[in-house]
A and B are shown apart, each in its own frame.
Chain A
Amino acid sequence: MEAKKVIRSETRKVINRLFPFKDGHAFDPGLWAVILQRLPEGYTIPDAQFTSELKRMNDELARIDKI
């Protein structure tokens, strides 16, 4: 049982690395352990290319609104 707890705790840490921001959402680590093994290194959610473009476009739209 101790060993399982350790694995779960480790899995949770790894899962949290997919989402590089803090929140308190609960995970069921069973299925996620399989997913984590298969994801490429460096994979994160959300897709940084999209979020950075969204930020840039929002700034641009705000600038246009001011004009």
Chain B
Amino acid sequence: MRVKILFVTYWYLPHTGGVHAYINLLKKELLKEGHHVDILAHHPDMDKIYMLTTGKYIEKEQIKEVVYGKVLNYYNRYQPYVEPWIRWKEIERYTFELVCTLFQLDQYDLIHTQDIVSTRALARVKPKHVPLVATIHGLVATQHLFTGEITSKKSLPWHYACLEEYYGATSADATIVPTEWVKRRLSKLGVPANHLTTIPYAIDIDQFKRRCATPTERYIPFTEKGKTIILCPAPLLPFQGHRNLMEALALLKERHQNFVCWLVGSGKLDQELLALSYRFRLENHVHFLGDRPDTAQLMNHSDIIVLPSTQDNNPYFIMEAQVAGKLVVSSNTGSTPEMIEDRITGLLFPPKNSRKLADILDLALSNTIWRKHIAEQGFLSGMKRWDSRTLLNNTLAVYHHTLEKRGLRKEIN
């Protein structure tokens, strides 16, 4: 059975986030099996929608100028209480869905959308006979609260964001989520659990290992032999938990001297964290390496990967650290407990708890054999769970089930 699939996302591509990594990996695996995959997305300038595989693009403006006037008029006349933020999002979605119709959607056996906006959009405009599968990578409503776009849950924008989430998760024939955590959160919004299939992310393990083994030409801090290297690969942003990490390292320093911590990433907390490192007299223990394209190589040099985030959904670094055979120490937030079995395949600590983090790092530094044993268990588990073939097979099962439900599988055969 060979299937012609269209991946669609409202986000722009290419970008460095997890969605792009997922799309690329799934596409690679589908192509290996002989399937055909096209990708439709926003261009990085956000003015065009384009087919990545052919380069064909449509300027949004020619559609948007009509939609803009019409939709604004509608709201002015009939629902004037609707805020500009909602109107803007509506205009964007309608423009997106109308432009998508210009890409001959009827040539595909199946459309696989990658976010709530494109899912609702494609559900409205796709030819009826083409099944729609969606992957909802995370929850955006709460992110609007973090970014300040929504200031209260007792507001129309908050309800609109929840509506988007609900219809994004229910408008397709089948919806895939990467974690049970996302599934539970969507169920709270009223999405039927039996509509959702959990398929964890995966990584290209061979490619990652090649990257690990490639010597880096970038700066690597000199580290005395015997010192344990703790790597924290995360942007220096408030919810990533670096403040707790610095406090934990300050406590750890009182018990151990034989460690260094490399912070990889940048962000608005860089000056504050630098100041903290001086305040806690951690200058000889903490190195700020900034954004690095060679995280895999740095991981290869490290002993422990620490992720102190206060909210996370299936972080790729956990998968990479496990298949690199490194001990993962992570806060048990979001979907992390699904990825790490505490004290079996990694070590977990409560988010924002610097003292617990210090205690766990202390344990790991004091018990090298125990630490290596857990890292080994994490490696064995990760090699199976994060294999891209697992992602492919589970996704194909959803495709087949969806096609079968619509009585299309025979036709394609």
Contacts and interface: CB of A to CB of B under 8 A. Distances in A.
A7 to B, nearest CB: 18
Interface string A26-61: 011001101100111001011101110111011001
Contacts of B159: 53-54, 57, 61
A24 to B, nearest CB: 9
B160 interface: yes
A64 B82 contact: no
Given A21-B77, A23-B70, A40-B125, A47 B120 contact: yes
B74 A46 contact: yes
Interface in B129-179: 154-156, 159-160, 163, 167
Contact of B102 (A35, A50, A58, A64): A35
A21 B74 contact: yes
Contacts of A61: 154-156, 159
B71 A46 contact: yes
Chain A, interface residues (CB within 8 Å), range: 20 to 34
A13 interface: no
Contact of A25 (B66, B82, B93): B66
B105 interface: yes
A3 to B, nearest CB: 24
A23 B75 CA distance: 12
A58 B125 contact: no
B98 interface: yes
A25 B77 CA distance: 14
A15 B152 CA distance: 38
Contact of B101 (A35, A50, A51): A35
Interface residues of B, number: 36
B11 interface: no
A27 B62 CA distance: 10
Given A45-B67, A45-B71, A40 B167 contact: no
A16 to B, nearest CB: 9
B203 to A, nearest CB: 37
B74 A19 contact: yes
A contact face: mostly helix, strand, loop, or mixed: helix
A64 B155 CA distance: 11
B78 interface: yes
Nearest to B120: A47
Interface in B64-81: 66-67, 69-71, 73-74, 77-79, 81
Contacts of A55: 79
Contacts of A39: 98, 101, 125
Contacts of A35: 63, 98, 101-102
B279 interface: no
Contacts of A21: 73-74, 77-78
Given A21-B78, A50-B167, A54-B156, A38 B70 contact: no
Contacts of A25: 66, 69-70, 73
A39 B195 CA distance: 26
30 contacts: A21-B78, A23-B69, A23-B73, A23-B74, A25-B73, A27-B66, A31-B62, A32-B66, A38-B101, A38-B102, A38-B127, A39-B125, A40-B124, A40-B125, A40-B126, A40-B127, A45-B70, A45-B71, A45-B94, A46-B71, A46-B94, A47-B90, A47-B94, A49-B167, A50-B160, A53-B159, A54-B82, A54-B86, A54-B163, A57-B156
Interface of B: 62-63, 66-67, 69-71, 73-74, 77-79, 81-82, 86, 90, 93-94, 98, 101-102, 105-106, 120, 124-128, 154-156, 159-160, 163, 167
Q: Which 8 A-B pairs have the closest CB atoms?
A: A25-B69, A38-B101, A23-B73, A57-B159, A19-B70, A45-B94, A35-B101, A58-B81
